[in-house]
Amino acid sequence: MIKPHGADTLKPLYVADAAARAALAAEAETLPSVVVSSAAAGNAVMLAAGYFTPLNGYMNLADSLAVAEKLHTTDGLFWPVPIVNMLKDVSAIQGASRIALRDPNVEGNPVLAVMDVTAIEEASEQQVRLMAEKIFGTLDEKHPGVSVFLGAGRFLVSGPIQVLNYSYFPQEFPDTFRTAQQIRDEIAERGWKKVVAFQTRNPMHRAHEELCRMAQERLGADGIVIHMLLGKLKEGDIPADVRDACIRKMVELYFPPNTVMITGYGFDMLYAGPREAVLHAIFRQNMGANYLIVGRDHAGVGDYYGPFDAQTIFDEHVPAGALQIEIFRADNTAYSKKLNCVVMMREAPDHTPDDFITLSGTKVRQMLGQGIAPPPEFSRPEVAKILMDYYQVLDAGK
């Protein structure tokens, strides 16, 4: 199986031994503590689950700036996005060498992790804005990732962490949330040798379904890991439980047995386009995938990124040998009325726009809210039914 990034074995930071975890939890109650941001909590969950191998905790200011500007840490590890714990107020932990990090997303703010504090550094406004611009390609605060990053605070608390739990994800998504090691174990159990990963924060329409099928066939992959984001999204995005139900129904009805794993990870969406695409590749390598499907405007939002910037970054900014995982480059996919199947648009040069069935997200949303199913060439009827039920309840509550 493909090796993890920057290491021979996974380095999950979850304290798996029950006795050690209980002792750490007891100690945590005696330590100075702070409620971290949702983004920092997501980083802790990803570190716990082994997805951010080989990191051992949160980055300091020097590493964060190096990653933002040069895509590597000060000691040369290739990494695309700073993994940080940024706070507005550090008065409760000032001078402490060991602290407890509390979860902002669970009632009562239970301890999520214990941290050995290497440094507490105050970044200048200029440094924070520099990092934001490098990560997101813009400083426009209408960009959801920029607004979260700039609003997180200027104090960077760095150091290694030991994680006590995976936040709310195992409880809310018991059938879907999986650690990197759990996915590697299941890949091995299924006997898959070549694996392609599909990232999604949305339900999967026919085009996404066929894209997975195309990638599997063209790459000769044994299976597909549909790996959905389970954390926080921007307003208007479809909640994870609805998305999960849609994907499970699609796989149940339209894929052969033992060809698809449905899994998810606990992280808030960054909407960082190209940089996030590279981060997606790293943690898909860590979970055992050989390929990641990178499509049009992967991890994008609005019109902040060019349609294929998330592909070209792998050519222009990922050094040779930095990653073992490879990307499957996808174009827009749509149903061809000429060919009676879903195709990549670039592979149908004899088509005009009228030869494809395409619908805007706004149009689909309007149809679903009115109880009108999109055409079966666009969305499987069983998936559309789940989405119609969701939108009609949502609209009734307004």
pLDDT at 24 over 90: yes
Q: What is the rounded average pLDDT for all residues in the chain? A: 94
Can 18-170 and 175-396 be said to share one CATH topology? no
Query: What pTM was estimated for this model as a whole?
Result: 0.94
| Mean of pLDDT values over 275-281 | 98
Ranges of each domain in the chain? 18-170, 175-396
Among residues 267, 275, 304, which one has the least CA distance to residue 142? 304
Query: In this predicted model, what pLDDT tens digit does every residue of 146-184 receive, in sequence order?
Result: 999 999 999 999 999 999 999 999 999 999 999 999 999
Contact 180, 1 (CB under 8 A): no
Beta strand 111-116 with 86-87 is unpaired
Quick one: which of 266, 186, 254 has its CA closest to 225? 186
Cα 238 from chain centroid (whole Å): 15
Measured between alpha carbons, how far is 83 from 59 in angstroms, rounded to an integer? 6
Phi/psi zone of residue 106: left (φ > 0), alpha (ψ -120 to 50 degrees), beta?
beta
- What residues are annotated to the active site? 201-202
Query: Tell me: the pLDDT tens digits for 100-132?
Result: 999 999 999 999 999 999 999 999 999 999 999
Query: Given this structure, which CATH class describes domain 18-170?
Result: alpha beta
Residues 6+ apart with CB under 8 A from 128: 149, 150, 154
86-97 mean pLDDT: 96
**Whether residue 224 has pLDDT greater than 90:** yes
Distances (CA, A) of 3 to 11, 184, 270: 12, 11, 26
> What kind and span of H or E run contains 124?
none
Tokens of 397: 């509550």
User: Per CATH, which fold does 175-396 belong to?
Assistant: Rossmann fold (3.40.50)
**Residue 391: its pLDDT value, please?**
87
User: Per-residue confidence at 397, pLDDT binned at 50, 70, 90?
Assistant: low
| Per-residue confidence (pLDDT) for residue 235, from 0 to 100 | 76
pLDDT band at residue 225 using 50, 70 and 90 as cut-offs: very high
Predicted confidence at residue 104, as pLDDT, reads 97
- Please check the confidence at residue 359 and state whether its pLDDT lies above 90: no
pLDDT at 398: 62
CA-CA distance, 170 to 6, in Å (whole number)?
27
